C-alpha cells in the first residue's frame, strides 16, 4: 500500500487488534506498507476512539434505561387513572360549587367557575409529553389507545351526569323543603351535600336492583338539625322546613328513579368498571415485561 494514502478508521482498528494479539509495531507497519511511527500513532488513536465509544455506550445505556423507567411510570399513572370513584364524588359538585367539599374530586376532575370541568389531562407539561412518547412507542397497539381515550370520554360523561342528577335532586329539594343548598362547612340554613348524595344514592340503588326506595329511612330532627344516621344533612331554625325535608326525603329519592340520568350513571359506571379491568390487564402485561417496546422521537435517533 502506498505510504501517502490516508489511514481510515477500519484500518487503524485492525492495527490495534493485531497489536493487542502480540504483533510488534514494526511487523504491522511492514505488512501494511506504512512507517512504524504512523502505525504507532494510529494504534493509540484507535485505542482512544474505542474508549470514547465504550463511554458513549454506557451513557446511552443509562439514558435509555432512565427513559424506559419514565415510560413505565406513565403506565403506572395510566393504571391509577383507571379507577371509577363512587357517584357521591360528583353528585353535589355543581350544586355546591365554590365550597370546600365541591373541590374534592377524582383524578384530573375539577370544579371550575362555570361548573364541573371534567377532563383527563396530565398534571403538567412533562407528564403530557411522556404520554405522547409512550403512544409513539406503542403505536402498534392502536386499539389500546382507542379504548383508553374512549374510557376517558365515558369517565367525563359519567362525572358530568352525576352532577346533573345531583342538580335535579337539588331543584326538587328546594321546591319541596323551601330550603336552599348550603355547604355543611358554612353557617346558616339549608340542606347540605349529604342530603343530595343520600337521596341520589337511594334512587341509584333502587334502580340498579329493581326495588323500591325504603319508606322509613333513619332520619331524625335534633333541635335545628336534620340527621340521617349520624350525618348532618340539613340545618334550619324553622321546624316545619326540617319536617318537610324529613317527610319528603323518600319521595324525593323515588322521583329520581325514572330520571334518564339515573340510568345513564348506572350504565356508564358499569361500562367503566368493566373496561378498566381489561385495560389494566393489558397495561400490566406491558409493565411486567419491564421494557417498553418500540421507539419514539427521543430514543429512535
The reply to whether 69 falls in a domain is no
Q: What is the pLDDT of residue 175?
A: 93
Q: What is the pTM of this model?
A: 0.76
Query: What pLDDT sits at residue 48?
Result: 87
Compute CA distances 158 → 70, 86, 103, 115, whole Å: 30, 10, 17, 15
Asked whether residue 112 falls in the same domain as residue 204, the answer is yes
50 plus 167 within the same structural domain: no
pLDDT of residue 56: 79
pLDDT in tens, 247-269: 999 999 999 999 999 999 999 99
Taking the C-alpha atoms of residue 301 and residue 217, their distance in angstroms, rounded to an integer, is: 66
Among the listed residues 177, 163, 289, the one whose alpha carbon sits nearest the alpha carbon of residue 234: 177
Residue 70 lies in a domain: no
Position 125 scores a pLDDT of 58
The DSSP string of 48-65 is HHHHHHHHHHHHHHHHHH
pLDDT computed for residue 97 by the predictor = 67
Is 128 inside any structural domain? yes
The structural domain count of the chain equals 2
Question: Do residues 206 and 252 both lie within one domain?
Answer: yes
Q: Which residues contact 22 (CB under 8 A, 6 or more apart)?
A: none
Of 149, 145, 143, 150, nearest to 134 by C-alpha is: 145
**What's the grid cell of residue 263?**
340510568
| Residue 226 belongs to some domain of the structure | yes
Point out the residues of the chain with pLDDT beneath 50. 1, 99-107
Strands 190-191 and 115-118: unpaired
Task: Assess whether 164 and 220 both reside in one domain.
Answer: yes
Note the pLDDT of residue 174. Answer: 93
In this structure, is residue 214 part of a structural domain? yes
User: HSE of 61 in the Cβ direction (CA atoms, 13 Å)?
Assistant: 6
Let me know whether 136 and 96 are in one domain: yes
Q: Which domain holds residue 122?
A: 82-289
Indicate whether 261 and 115 sit together in one domain: yes
Statement to judge: residues 131 and 23 lie in one domain: no
Question: How far apart (Å, rounded) are the C-alpha atoms in residues 58 and 118?
Answer: 44
267 falls within a domain: yes
What DSSP letter does each residue of 97-163 carry, written as one string? TTSTGGG--STTEEEETTEEEE----SSHHHHHHHHHHHHHTTT-HHHHHHHHHHHHHHHHHHHHHH
Instruction: Encode pLDDT of 76-127 as tens digits.
Output: 988 988 888 889 888 987 777 654 333 333 345 565 656 556 555 555 556 7
Tell whether 110 and 161 lie within a shared domain: yes
In a domain, 2, yes or no: no
User: Are residues 108 and 15 both part of a single domain?
Assistant: no
96 with 232, same domain: the answer is: yes
* Cα gap 181→98, rounded to integer Å: 12
Residues 143, 193 share a domain: yes
Tell me, what's the pLDDT at 247?
92
Give me the pLDDT at residue 100, please.
34
Domain identity same for 51 and 87: no
CA distance 209 to 89: 21
Q: Which residues contact 231 (CB under 8 A, 6 or more apart)?
A: 194, 198
Note whether residue 275 is domain-resident. Answer: yes
Amino acid at each position: 500500500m502506498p505510504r501517502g494514502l490516508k489511514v481510515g478508521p477500519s484500518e487503524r482498528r485492525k492495527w490495534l487488534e493485531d497489536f493487542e494479539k502480540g504483533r510488534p509495531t514494526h511487523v504491522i507497519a511492514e505488512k501494511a506498507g506504512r512507517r512504524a511511527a504512523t502505525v504507532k500513532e494510529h494504534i493509540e488513536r484507535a485505542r482512544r476512539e474505542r474508549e470514547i465509544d465504550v463511554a458513549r455506550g454506557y451513557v446511552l445505556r443509562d439514558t435509555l434505561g432512565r427513559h424506559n423507567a419514565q415510560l413505565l411510570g406513565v403506565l403506572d399513572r395510566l393504571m391509577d387513572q383507571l379507577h371509577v370513584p363512587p357517584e357521591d364524588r360528583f353528585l353535589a359538585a355543581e350544586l355546591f360549587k365554590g365550597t370546600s367539599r365541591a373541590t374534592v374530586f377524582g383524578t384530573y376532575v375539577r370544579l371550575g367557575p362555570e361548573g364541573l370541568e371534567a377532563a383527563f389531562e396530565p398534571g403538567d407539561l412533562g407528564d403530557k409529553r411522556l404520554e405522547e412518547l409512550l403512544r409513539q412507542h406503542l403505536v402498534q397497539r392502536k386499539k389500546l389507545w382507542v379504548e383508553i381515550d374512549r374510557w376517558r370520554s365515558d369517565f367525563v360523561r359519567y362525572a358530568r351526569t352525576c352532577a346533573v342528577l345531583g342538580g335535579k335532586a337539588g331543584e326538587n329539594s328546594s321546591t319541596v323543603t323551601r330550603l336552599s343548598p348550603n355547604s355543611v362547612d358554612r353557617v346558616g340554613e339549608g340542606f347540605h351535600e349529604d342530603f343530595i348524595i343520600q337521596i341520589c344514592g337511594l334512587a341509584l340503588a333502587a334502580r340498579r336492583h329493581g326495588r323500591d326506595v325504603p319508606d322509613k329511612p333513619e332520619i331524625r330532627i335534633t333541635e335545628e338539625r336534620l340527621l340521617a344516621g349520624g350525618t348532618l344533612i340539613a340545618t334550619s331554625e324553622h321546624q316545619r322546613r326540617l319536617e318537610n325535608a324529613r317527610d319528603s326525603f323518600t319521595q324525593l329519592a323515588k322521583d329520581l328513579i325514572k330520571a334518564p340520568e339515573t340510568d345513564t350513571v348506572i350504565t356508564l359506571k358499569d361500562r367503566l368498571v368493566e373496561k378498566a379491568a381489561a385495560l389494566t390487564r393489558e397495561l400490566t402485561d406491558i409493565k411486567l415485561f419491564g421494557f417498553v417496546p418500540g421507539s419514539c422521537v427521543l430514543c429512535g435517533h
